Amino acid sequence: MNQPQENNNQAASPENTGTEVPANHFKVQFRPAEQICSAATKLQGLRKDEVVMVQTDHGLEPARILVVIPLWPEPKPARQFPLTIVRRATRDETAKFEKLGEMEHNAFRFCAKLIEKLNLPMNLVKVERYFNGGKIIFYFTAENRVDFRELVKNLVQEFRTRVEMRQIGVRHETKMVGGLGCCGRELCCSSFIQNFESVSIKMAKEQNLPLNPAKISGACNRLLCCLNYEYKTYKATRKSMPKVGKKITVNNRQYKVRQHNVLKESIVVTDDEGQEMTLNREEWQALPQPAAKDK
């Protein structure tokens, strides 16, 4: 989920001390080592590591507070926070929350053994159990459609609750499994990306990146999501620069634009003899512009 930037003011950051401060913004986590989400509440006195009940699309779910953000001088609009902390968890709810991970792990092992026994062409990725016990979701990947009717029948008999088999793509699998990107940081999809946007090879070309799949692909073997981040800036900046292939006049000599350096906002031009020259932004902007054609 999209998260506001962390407060860098160490003197005003109580998240490492557990100090009680006026706050309306928290970072919470539903499962250990999973995505950290932003949540808002009107409750006061919540502390780091406290278990709270958070409103989700399928009811209340427990989560642990990881970071306490001090109250802003001007409170942010409620729409900035997709999650709302409703109340503190009771002692029984906290105890059940502590055992939830183990229950999901046992369900994962049981399902994996059934998949192997039934010889189904699918790869189990994750198991998610609703806190109220109303449903268990089994996430899996597969090359083609899978007939898992017999598998579901066995799972329902074992867990006595609704069972949903949800097939996901490799990008969602990577989001769930997590890991580190080529930049050395936690994968964007695991840390803050909520919805995947379309990524194309055109974005890599626009940014003059090498079209080597090994260098522009992520852990999911798909194009890097971060190709999206600067694409619009590159596109807008390049639009204001002389187009590649255009002929321009510099000091009464004809040159042809051969290359853009968008970061430096400079262009590389060559003359008829192949002599190369680099023009910075001030230089190419000062070139005479061709007269507009009459309509």
Residue-wise pLDDT tens digits, 33-91: 777 888 888 888 889 999 999 998 888 999 999 988 776 555 555 445 678 899 999 99
Q: How far, in Å, are 189, 193, 207, 237 from residue 233 at the CA level?
A: 22, 20, 10, 6
Residue-wise pLDDT tens digits, 254-273: 888 888 888 888 888 888 87
Residues of the chain with pLDDT under 50: 1-22, 78-79, 292, 294-295
Beta strands (DSSP E) in the chain are 23-29, 36-40, 51-56, 59-70, 83-88, 123-129, 135-141, 162-167, 247-250, 253-261, 266-270, 276-279
Give the separation between CA 128 and CA 107, rounded to whole angstroms. 9
Looking at the DSSP assignment, which residues form a beta bridge with residue 129? Answer: 136
Looking at the DSSP assignment, which residues form a beta bridge with residue 210? Answer: none
Fold for the domain defined by 97-168: GMP Synthetase; Chain A, domain 3 (3.30.300)
Looking at the chain, the domain(s) classified CATH 2.30.30 span 240-285
What pLDDT is stored for residue 265 in this prediction? 85
What pLDDT is stored for residue 64 in this prediction? 93
Give the separation between CA 63 and CA 46, rounded to whole angstroms. 13
Looking at the chain, the domain(s) classified CATH 3.30.300.20 span 97-168
CATH architecture of the domain formed by 240-285: Roll (2.30)
Give the separation between CA 101 and CA 128, rounded to whole angstroms. 9
